[in-house]
Amino acid sequence: MQYVKQESAPERRRVAGPRVRAFGHPLGLFIVSGAELWERFSFYAIQGILLYFIYYGVADGGLGLDQAVALAVVGSYGGVVYLIQPFGAWLADRLIAVRSVILLGAVIIMFGHIALSFAVDLSTLVVGLGLIAIGTGLLMPNALAVVGQMYKGDRAKQDSGYSLYYGAILIGALAGPVIAGLLQTRVSFQAAFLSAAVGMAFGIIVYLLGWKHLPTAAREVPYPIDKRSRNQVVILGAGALGVVFLAVFLFVDMSNVNAFIVLITVIAAALLFLNILRSSGTTHAEKRRVVMYVPVFIACVIFWALILQLFTTFAIYADQRVNMSIGGFEVPPAFISTFEVIAGILFTIPMAAFWQRLRARQPSTPVKIGIGAAVMTVAFLGFAGLSYMTSDLLSIYPVIIMMIIFGLSEVICAPLFFSMAEQAAPEKLKSQMMALSGLALGIGASLSGFIGSWYVNSSSESAFFLGCAGLAIAMGALVLVFLPLFKKMGLDITK
């Protein structure tokens, strides 16, 4: 006799998806996306001006530190933001319902931006950035996990849903640097930082007004930890923090902080991989998919290391190599990232609709990433060509064109890396897998600081951009080489 497993009522509630829909997608997608839009507004408002705040002179409202320190801080901050994500994912899986973890993260971020507005030296700057990093580590992986919960069994719309979610991110990423850049040049850095706090407050309001539309699973702790295990985690966590603080005190300074963050993040990623693979809740088939995610993870690191040049290399590039005048109007150098984001806003919805229209005829997810890598290569070759033609200040117009091409590559690739992480995730460890994807972003963010240092010290700007083009080619090749195995393991699902 064949027996059919009967689900309990809690199990049925856990997998139930949201019933209210808008434009063919769960309404909860737009609630989470709206909150994330404002969170990204606040995040990118800071990212757009942070490098300048550190290396601009005191007379210009900055801290007056050198560019090497500025690049180290920006890269390390980006790494720490994502290093904290596994803890945020674990918290949602074992201790607090995911929707509450997201809210807690948003509130901490808001206070971080307020603290940043009072920063007067490197120490006080680190306090504000630390709060933002903690809050973002709680919010980001869990917001992504909630989006994934809304598409259970509906792979045809998953890539489209992630693209729409990423479109909201891009809108925030456009508005943040524009408003912060204008406030920084017209008023002060402090006013710009406060605008980020206001943006995050709007995000909290949007989230609270609509969180009843989140999936049922977002209201539950799927695998609550018992009291004994919780105490063990607290002890181990305190010990780990003690070791980290001791290492920072004894060995870390501004000359090697980026390397330290990369090392810690790589170790965290390796431990998280092992935890997922060793979990009793991970089946044999799921373990095979997780193993096949390794080359995707490496490609994702390369992708983010290149994309996040926006806030390191390209920030300095705009400040020192580009005539930032449009029709006689001088725009702040922080606007450089907005030109890349414009591409995202222009292409995100058409791209999502295009993939959804193709349905079964669309290329597999790894092939789409390969296409995005080719587009990124074209952008870097364009920057290399501009540098080769002149060593004088560059006109902003060809730079804008290259930035739009660069942004198109992000629109293509970024949501697909999120989607592949969700496809590879064990059913019971979704948040942890999204945190692992976030660690790839963290390693890439820290590496962007290294790459920015190479740009500053490079004797040939065109050779530097050619090197970046080579990395983009390597990223695409890495994913495509493993395509047959991805198909075998179910990591190229298009239906």
Ordered alpha helix ranges (H), 189-335: 189-210, 227-251, 257-278, 284-307, 313-320
pLDDT per position as a tens digit, 326-385: 888 888 888 888 888 788 778 877 877 887 777 767 777 888 899 999 999 999 999 999
pLDDT of 1 higher than 50? no
pLDDT of 428 higher than 60? yes
**Token duo for residue 62:** 């900055």
- Range scoring the smallest mean pLDDT among 90-104, 351-365, 433-447: 351-365
Q: Mean of the pLDDT values across residues 104-128? A: 90
Instruction: Please provide the distance, in angstroms rounded to a whole number, between the alpha carbons at the two ends of the chain.
Output: 33
Give me the residue label for tokens 């979990």. Answer: 279
pLDDT of 11 higher than 70? no
Predicted local distance difference test score (pLDDT) of residue 192: 92
Residue 338 counted as domain residue? yes
Q: Mean of the pLDDT values across residues 36-53? A: 88
pLDDT of 219 higher than 90? no
Coil, strand or helix at 3: coil
Residue 245 counted as domain residue? no
Range of the domain at 475: 22-215+257-489
Top-confidence range, 63-77, 338-352, 478-492: 63-77
Mind giving me the DSSP string for 183-198? HHHHT-HHHHHHHHHH
Residue 4 counted as domain residue? no
- The count of domains in the chain is 1
**Token duo for residue 21:** 């829909």
- Range scoring the smallest mean pLDDT among 51-60, 86-95, 204-213, 480-489: 480-489
Residue 96 phi, psi dihedral angles, 5° rounding: -130, 140
Residue 15 counted as domain residue? no
Q: What is the dihedral of CA 303, 304, 307, 311, to 10 degrees?
A: -160
Residue 160 counted as domain residue? yes
Residue 235 counted as domain residue? no
Predicted local distance difference test score (pLDDT) of residue 405: 93
Q: Where does the pLDDT of residue 159 fall: very low under 50, low under 70, confident under 90, or very high at 90 and above?
A: low
pLDDT per position as a tens digit, 252-307: 666 677 888 888 889 888 988 888 888 877 888 888 888 888 899 999 999 999 99
Predicted local distance difference test score (pLDDT) of residue 385: 94
Give the whole-angstrom CA distance, residue 403 versus residue 360.
32
- Beta carbons of 105 and 137 less than 8 angstroms apart: yes
User: How many percent of the chain have pLDDT more than 70?
Assistant: 86
Q: Where does the pLDDT of residue 248 fall: very low under 50, low under 70, confident under 90, or very high at 90 and above?
A: low
Q: What is the mean pLDDT of the chain?
A: 82
Residue 240 counted as domain residue? no
The residue type at 212: K
Is 250 buried (19+), middle (13-18) or exposed (0-12) by CB count in 10 A?
exposed
Taking the model in full, what pTM does it have? 0.78
pLDDT of 14 higher than 50? no
- Range scoring the smallest mean pLDDT among 63-72, 359-368, 460-469: 359-368
- Beta carbons of 276 and 429 less than 8 angstroms apart: yes
Residue 262 counted as domain residue? yes
Predicted local distance difference test score (pLDDT) of residue 96: 84
Q: Mean of the pLDDT values across residues 214-226? A: 77
Q: Where does the pLDDT of residue 20 fall: very low under 50, low under 70, confident under 90, or very high at 90 and above?
A: low
Domain harbouring 414, CATH code = 1.20.1250.20
Give me the residue label for tokens 């790839």. Answer: 440
- Beta carbons of 170 and 339 less than 8 angstroms apart: no
Predicted local distance difference test score (pLDDT) of residue 404: 92
Predicted local distance difference test score (pLDDT) of residue 82: 78
19 or 199, higher pLDDT = 199
pLDDT of 415 higher than 90? no
- Range scoring the smallest mean pLDDT among 83-87, 147-151, 358-362, 457-461: 358-362
